[in-house]
Structure 1
Amino acid sequence: MSAPIPRILLAIFGGYACAALGVAAVGAVVPGSADALLAAVLLAFPLWVALVVWVFAARDVRRVAVVMAGACAVCAAIIFALPVAGPVS
């Protein structure tokens, strides 16, 4: 098993980044719907927990880091590719 410090850092910061960018991507894809955005925010915590469990269960931390970086890149591309929506009413 590899050293625990990289796994801990990846679980905390990488998991948070993926969960936050995922919520922002859902908000960009479904603009104007407060219910959809609220559902995405409520799903962010279980997503983060699942990513933390995956980081510690995986054999190779580098593979996890690459997959998480790819997911963050896809979410960031979705966020920046779509126009910014107006205020939710």
Structure 2
Amino acid sequence: MPFSELIGYLAATLTTCSFVPQAWHTFRTRDVSGISLGMYSVFTAGVALWLAYGLALGAWPIVIANAITLMLASAILGMKLLYGARRGG
């Protein structure tokens, strides 16, 4: 594996893993008060586009990282919509 690809996988792993604590905390506490709906909406759309870009290039570090990040960000966004609506915000 080329060194540049190794760097890509490492960067993808670190940035993707950074969403796990937020998703877990939100799922566990159902507290979405500190989450911006606008930010997560735009971010999730951006990640979906990065995933499409990675697929178009056949760049697996980009594809794998963004597929996982899209799932995590979508889960957080979904919880914001679900739990935020229940609490009026």
The question of a shared fold, defined as TM-score above 0.5 by the shorter chain, is answered with: no
TM-score normalised to structure 1 length:
0.37
TM-score normalised to structure 2 length:
0.37
